Structure 1
Amino acid sequence: MQSSSDNTILYKRPLWYYIKNNPRAFSLGMLFLLVTNILDGVYPLIMKIAIDQIETMAPLSAIGKTCAMFFAIMAGLAFTRYGWRTNFGRFHTFAAEHIRQKLFRHVTSLGPNFFHKNQVGELMSLMTNDVQSFRQAIGPGLLILADGIIIIAVVLPIMVGLNWEWTWKTLVFLPLVPFLIWKVMRLIHSNYKVQQDKFSELTGVAQETVGGIRVIKSFAQEDNRTSLFNAVSSAFEKACNKVARIDAFFVPVMEFGVTSGSVILLFIAKDDIYSGAVTIGTFVAFHRYIQKMVWPMTALGMGFSYFQKGYASFDRIKDVLKTNSDIPDDGTIEIQKFESLEFKNVSYKHQDSTVYVLKDVSFTLHAGESLGIMGPVGAGKTTLLHLLSRMYPLKEGQILVNGISIEKIKQESLRKTFLLVPQEAFLFSDSISENVSFGLHARATEGEIMRMVGIVDLNKEIDALPHKYDSQLGERGVNLSGGQKQRLTIARGLIMKTPVLVLDDSLSAVDTRTEKAIEAELSKSDSTTTRIIVAHRLSSLKGVNKLLILKDGQVEALGSYMDVFRTSPTFQKIVHIQGKGEHHE
């Protein structure tokens, strides 16, 4: 867990934060880069010496020594280049891994309100594209920038030492560089943020289209979705092109400002060479240094470009990291044994809404009992379960577990006690066995998996698959039918053997025979599982001790089957619709 001071440093000075946390890799990378540029700056002088030796017909032994020196410098360059690449690579990949994990942990800690406001595609873009852009800034971007500055610091004094007059005349356009960089960087920063927003929108549309492909095909909306995708993709293309047009100014402007020095050199050096004031070797070395100065000017532009893009991405990452959860996990108590659950005058309305989804709901449930919840669509049944599992923040009323407010209980402990099998079946791209064992610390035994799958009547269908229980499921279980996914989700809940099993209309796609098998498993003599079952079918609630009927978010009736039938018009209507005589059983 990071301290608030660490987060402050990260948000204000992310580069310094990662240098402080990985000083060895950063320092070695910079040291090797410095040595590399010193050696690279020296070797044109060696070439000068060699050319002058040849021009003056120096002895072969002298030329041999110069060649050996040149070879030693090239060997040193190979070693130091390897050194800065490996060390600096460790530095920026460490930073990317850290920020990616931090972002992932934070996002998974946020409540549903955050996910209602942010598309999945946008969050995926943050964790991949924006993290990569930030890595490029403090990795290659910083490296290029440092490389350019060091080369200037090494090469410029050597050029001055060779010939001061040549230096200032050939680099006359250099003072224009800072102004050009400042001007272009401002444009890049604003436009790159727009580009990233368009990329997030594109990712969101693509993810939603692929995820909802069955619905799209069912309604014959392929052309409409394609048109939407093309429009969003075109907007992203335009944003990219705008950034590219601005970014493209760097190299031509920078190279013109410096390479023009080569032309200037030809004019100003001729008299010195003719008079013998300078040697051919000096001219060749100086021209090489002018060429070397092309890269630092370009590097300054590229480095600042990476920084502007990366820090624009970091601003987006920072905005998410600074988002506080509306359901903070501040509890310290762990549930050792479930004894009772009590709702006391619980009311709830969604954020930015004035309409109550639940209003003054109260009931009590003791260990070993079972509670069935019924009501019309929109009565607040699922909302009640989400409040119990702390998916939604509780602002009015109290929910007590063993007499303790749920805000004081660790969320992990609470959710391990009240295992919610949701209405929407969600399976992972993994084997059937791993999906059934999802909530366990380790994969369940094959016998236990087969028993649970048998209870939900899926064993024959799984045995017909080529790899049986090791068969891989597609994304969200796409290669299973809706009923198969729901039954597999129930098996995943049954295998957990939690104190309280909460089924949110999870039996809707289960036939009567399977429903009875599940009921038998939950009602075994050695079972101490408390049950909360939301259902629309009377058959799903036959074995419960209590019924809670909700209407318009309020408790219409609470009690036994017969008590509720006598007092609840809603329940009477349900019984009448689903089959007369149910109330006599």
Structure 2
Amino acid sequence: MFFLFLTNALDGVYPLIMKKALDQIEGRVPMSDITKTCVLFFAIMTSLAVTRYGWRTHFGKFHTFAAEHIRQKLFKHVTSLGPNFFHKNQVGELMSLLTNDVQSFRQAIGPGMLILADGIIIILVVLPIMISMNWTWTWKTLIFLPLVPFLIWKVMKLIHLNYKTQQDRFSELTGVAQETVGGIRVIKSFSQEDNRTTLFNGVSAAFEKACNKVARVDAFFVPVMEFGVTSGSVILLFVAKDDLYSGAVTIGTFVAFHRYIQKMVWPMTALGMGFSFFQKGYASFDRMKEVLQTETDIPDLGTVEINKFESLEFRHVSFKHKNSPVYVLKDISFTLQAGHSLGIMGPVGSGKTTLLHLLTRLYPLEEGQILVNGIPIENITQESLRQVFLLVPQEAFLFSESITENVSFGLAERASDSDIQRMTEIVDLTNEVNALPMKFESQLGERGVNLSGGQKQRLTIARGLIMKTPVLILDDSLSAVDTKTEKAIEKELSKGDSGMSRIIVAHRLSSLKTVDQLLILKDGRVEAWGTYSQVLNSSPTFQKIVQIQGQEASHE
């Protein structure tokens, strides 16, 4: 701002130097005097170059740093929010927030604030000089100036409203594009390319319409702002002619004053442009503020750190999603001791995954208690809880990195080649990895798109096994592995003095042959809990599963 003030002060002085030079030429003064004036003019213009460089570099650093800061703040906050937030907000909308809205905010506090400050400073510098030169000329040539604030107020309201609509349409466009690219295999399988293209074109047309609406409002600024001031140039010709004829003023004064009128065009335009940037940035700031003020439904308020597993107990746990009257889980109670394993079965929609999400604090616990090592789960820090209970979700998600990086994802440091190879051997993936051009350093596509569904699932299991956490939770993660691989995984899980505790959600009985206890869920309630034989005798759901899968009604 200091450099900007100096720039405008120097810029306001040089027409006076030009006036002096013209008056000297008209007065036929010695060449030595004109030379001094020229040197002064050159010095001022050189200083202008220096000060302009100063404010450009400092302003550039400021608004890019501010954008980086708020982008990181947004990203950190978004990653702290629970699944309910992501259920309500499209991925494309969040991508737009972290990119387009941050960019719009940067434009407001960078170029927008710069232009506005520049315009205001020029008015404060130029207007007093014009008044000192000729008060009559000043008020007559700037007669339309009082209209400017009213016009700005009217247009800024329209910009704020229309730009927010534009950003909403952009979010919808990004969401459809992201969803289409992410689900391209499904789209092609059902031959829905034309339908998705029609949908995309419709959303794109709505975005185009919103952009054009903003552009039409924006287009009013420059003509309206310039008209109020440039009309002063015409007025000057009429009001100055008598003074020029009589010799009351010099040609130099007329030229300098006309130059100042031209300079007043920019401040009026700058006010419009600056407010335009601010209104766009304010619309984006509203959207960012809304997200930043969204509080997570799973706040990390725990103070107890745990590093081992002794026991787990569910006491009359019930859960329903926010604003839903239907309970997903109702009155769930069971226990699990260290070194033991628990298998969970039940029909689709019986609440199996929800139970695991409550245990790993992905959903808030509102009714009942979950005790880990006898400590209420909300009193335990989320980081230490998830280092004890590692959840391998049923959706195999891989990152656009190498196979080695994906397997080492949860570790503080990259795993050794021998550990990675051993884990891929356990899940029967080594030969398939070695067949790739770069073997373990092969880069995976987005979400592991260049691997089959079974390969992705086995790779996520390897990622979980290498962590060696006290409790490994497999949420239907064994559905794509064969019996041989299942046995290898079970052998790895059973290593150690007491063996790794595990919780396995599965629909196949073969995946649960070696578990110590079974929990059967139906309609969100516990239908049976106990050993294989106990559950078989008391659970109609389990009996039906055994019958359908052709299993013997006995536990070997």
Give the TM-score taking structure 2 as reference length: 0.98
1:423, distance to aligned residue in structure 2 (A): 0.2
The structural deviation recorded for 1:439 is 0.6
Paired residue for 2:472, among 486, 490, 501? 501
Q: One-letter code of the match for 2:284? A: S
d(CA) in 2 for partners of 1:374, 1:556 = 10
1:527, distance to aligned residue in structure 2 (A): 6.5
Q: Matches of residues 322-337 of structure 1 in structure 2 within 5 Å?
A: 322-337=293-308
- Determine if contact 1:259/1:294 at 8 Å carries over to the other structure: yes
In structure 1, how many angstroms separate the alpha carbons of the residues matched to 2:410 and 2:555? Answer: 40
Structure 2 residue aligned with 1:87: 58
Does residue 281 (structure 1) correspond to residue 262 (structure 2)? The answer is no
> Which of these residues, 414, 418, 429, is aligned with residue 400 of structure 2?
429
Q: Do the aligned partners of 1:575 and 1:583 also contact (CA within 8 Å) in 2?
A: no
Q: 2:406, 2:488 → 1: CA distance?
A: 21
CA deviations 1:5-61 (Å, max 9, x no partner) are: xxxxxxxxxxxxxxxxxxxxxxxxx11100000011111111111122222222222
Work out which of the residue numbers 117, 121, 135 in structure 1 matches 2:92: 121
Q: Is the Cα contact below 8 Å between 2:307 and 2:388 reproduced in 1?
A: no
Conserved? CA contact 1:379–1:552, under 8 Å: yes
Cα separation, 1, equivalents of 2:126 and 2:458 = 72
Unaligned runs of 5+ in 2: none
Per-residue CA deviation, residues 343-376 of structure 1 (Å, 9 max, x unaligned), is 1111112222222211111111111111111111
In the alignment, which residue of structure 1 is the partner of 2:435? 464
Q: 1:65 to 1:527 in 2, by over 3 A?
A: farther
- Share of identical aligned residues, percent? 81
The amino acid across from 1:455 in the alignment is I
Take 1:560 and 1:130, find their aligned partners in 2: how far apart are those partners?
Answer: 55
Aligned residues: 556
The structural deviation recorded for 1:275 is 2.1
Change in Cα spacing, 1:584 to 1:401, as seen in structure 2 (3 Å) is closer
1:305 paired with 2:276, answer yes
1:288-308 superposed Cα distances (whole Å, 9 cap, x missing partner): 111111000000000111111
> In the alignment, which residue of structure 1 is the partner of 2:216?
245
For residue 510 of structure 1, give the secondary structure of its aligned residue in structure 2: coil
AA matched with 2:332: V
When residues 359 and 161 of structure 1 are mapped into structure 2, their CA distance, relative to the original with a 3 A threshold, is: same
Deviation at 1:244, TM superposition (A): 0.9
Q: Name the SS for the 1:262 alignment partner.
A: helix
- Cα offset for 1:534? 0.4
Aligned Cα RMSD in Å? 1.3
- After superposition, give the CA deviation of every residue in 1:190-229 in whole Å (9 maximum; x if it has no partner): 1111111111111111111111111111111111111111
Q: CA deviation at 1:460?
A: 1.3
* Offset, 1:106: 1.4
Matching of residue 318 in structure 1 with residue 289 in structure 2:
yes
- AA aligned opposite 1:118: N
* Distance in 2, Cα, partners of 1:196 & 1:332: 41
Which of the numbers 7, 24, 29 marks the counterpart of 1:36? 7
SS state at 1:580 partner: coil
1:136 aligns with 2:107: yes
The 1-side partners of 2:527 and 2:354 are apart by: 16
Distance 1:514 1:74 in 2: 78
Displacement of 1:270: 2.2
Tell me the secondary structure at the aligned position of residue 488 of structure 1: helix
User: Map of 1:4-43 to 2, 5 A cutoff?
Assistant: 30-43=1-14
Please state whether the residue corresponding to 2:554 is helix, strand or coil.
helix
What does residue range 263-412 of structure 1 map to in structure 2 within 5 Å? 263-412=234-383
**Secondary structure class of the residue paired with 2:529:** strand
Is residue 45 from structure 1 mapped to residue 3 from structure 2 by the alignment? Answer: no
Whole-angstrom distance in 1 between the partners of 2:459 and 2:142 = 73
- Equivalences for residues 79-228 of structure 1 within 5 A: 79-228=50-199
1:77 aligns with 2:32: no
Contact 1:345 1:361 in 2 (8 A): yes
Deviation at 1:89, TM superposition (A): 1.8
2:555 and 2:3 map into 1 onto residues whose CA distance is 87
Secondary structure of 1:583's partner? Answer: coil
In structure 2, C-alpha distance between the alignment counterparts of 1:489 and 1:93, rounded to whole Å:
38
Distance 2:336 2:175 in 1: 42
Cα pair 1:48 1:282 within 8 Å, conserved: yes
Matched residue SS, 2:428 = coil
Give 1:583 deviation, angstroms: 2.1
- Please tell me whether the aligned partners of residues 532 and 555 of structure 2 are also in contact (alpha carbons under 8 angstroms): no
